Copies of this chain bind each other. A is one copy, B any other.
Amino acid sequence: MLSERQKMILRMIVEDYVQSAEPVGSRSISKQGDTGLSAATIRNEMADLEEQGYLEQPHTSAGRVPSQQGYRYYVDHLLQLGERLRPEEISKMKALFSERVDEIEKVAQQTALYLSTFTQYTAVVLGPQVYENTLRSLQMVPINEHSAVLLVVTSTGQVQNKTVSFPEDIPLSQVEKLVRFLNEKLVGTPVYQMRSRIFEEISHEVARQMRDFEEAQRILDQLLAVISAEKDGKLFLGGTTNMLLQPEFHNVEKAKSVLSWLEHHDLVSRALMQESKARGPLSVRIGGENELSTLQDCSLVTATYQIGGDPVGVIGIIGPTRMEYGRVIGMLDYLSKEMSHLVTKWYSG
């Protein structure tokens, strides 16, 4: 258990170190205004804090650095979520969300950009992924005799498309008939039920109507591929190279490992999705708390945005464990709420 004084000292150390990126000595804490304590006293407390695992010493005769546990305690107990956001930042963000929005993806992209420029860390935004989405319309536009573009439009206006081709011996009219049939049967079906409904109810019926069972299957498969592509929410990154601004990533090896990971959007998406499921609407993963080995030296802070309580997307920040948790959390909190409003309005018409 930490005394009030220890808490204060721990907070000061964390905040000092986050700014300076250099080990914090007892003197600089002692001198820092309000504490009427001498360096020696601070030293004693620091030794205590170190013994309890909240601080670390890079080497004897260096100052102290917060340990992972130290950051954790700071985030859990010492963070005052007072408005750390600067007014001009708030007004910029307000502007972003008050603009006429006609593409949710633009907003996601912009959010990532703002987040990253304001924080100087790397921002990730996982686009909304609405499972309650239903099929609005299935359209086919023929391109030539044996291929066509298949369009899937969902109730929220998201569009997926894929060019499919079918063998010469199947006439276009046949395929058109199939699409009409699917439309009749499937419009209004939630996207996440699509797969099972196709298999259980539609598949055999289609086969009966079409001469060639295998071909019907193939076309259905392609259709499914279009729909499942929809399932992965789109990922937007902002300020990827901000990683390189942080002294802890001046080591090119480390930088490369994180940056390459960020190149694999599928992996990042998965990690974010998992995060939003495992933890609540706001999650802070510090260093080793991350399961991915790539992120051992990073902190990942994420917030979900929701429609009526249902999380549909994630926004987050990736940076060094030495992170301005207050600002980051504040900003994510603010933006995730704005995003929630926006998508709620958007998806309810």
Chain B positions within 8 Å of A103 at CB level: 162-163
Asked if A1 is at the interface of the complex by the 8 Å CB criterion, the answer is no
Closest beta carbon of chain B to A348's beta carbon, Å: 9
Which residue of B102, B153, B241, B252 is within 8 Å of A165 (Cβ)? B102
Chain B positions within 8 Å of A263 at CB level: 240-241
Chain B positions within 8 Å of A182 at CB level: none
CB–CB A349/B143 < 8 A: yes
CB–CB B241/A145 < 8 A: no
CB–CB B156/A143 < 8 A: yes
Interface size on A, residues (CB 8 A): 36
- CA A241 – CA B153 in complex, angstroms? 36
Asked if A210 is at the interface of the complex by the 8 Å CB criterion, the answer is no
Question: Which A residues from 231 to 273 make CB contacts under 8 A with B?
Answer: 240-241, 244-245, 249-250, 252, 255-256, 259-260, 263
Asked if A147 is at the interface of the complex by the 8 Å CB criterion, the answer is yes
CB–CB A256/B240 < 8 A: no
Asked if A330 is at the interface of the complex by the 8 Å CB criterion, the answer is no
CB–CB B151/A159 < 8 A: yes
CB–CB B162/A102 < 8 A: yes
CB–CB B349/A145 < 8 A: yes
Which residue of B156, B159, B164 is within 8 Å of A102 (Cβ)? B164
Closest beta carbon of chain B to A79's beta carbon, Å: 30
- CA A157 – CA B146 in complex, angstroms? 12
Asked if A26 is at the interface of the complex by the 8 Å CB criterion, the answer is no
- CA A102 – CA B182 in complex, angstroms? 22
Asked if A161 is at the interface of the complex by the 8 Å CB criterion, the answer is yes
- CA A25 – CA B63 in complex, angstroms? 47
Contact with B along A131-161 (1 / 0, CB 8 A): 0000011010101110101010101110101
Chain B positions within 8 Å of A159 at CB level: 149, 151, 159, 161
A151-B151, A244-B255, A259-B259 known, 6 other contacts, Cβ within 8 Å = A139-B139, A143-B156, A240-B259, A241-B260, A250-B252, A255-B255
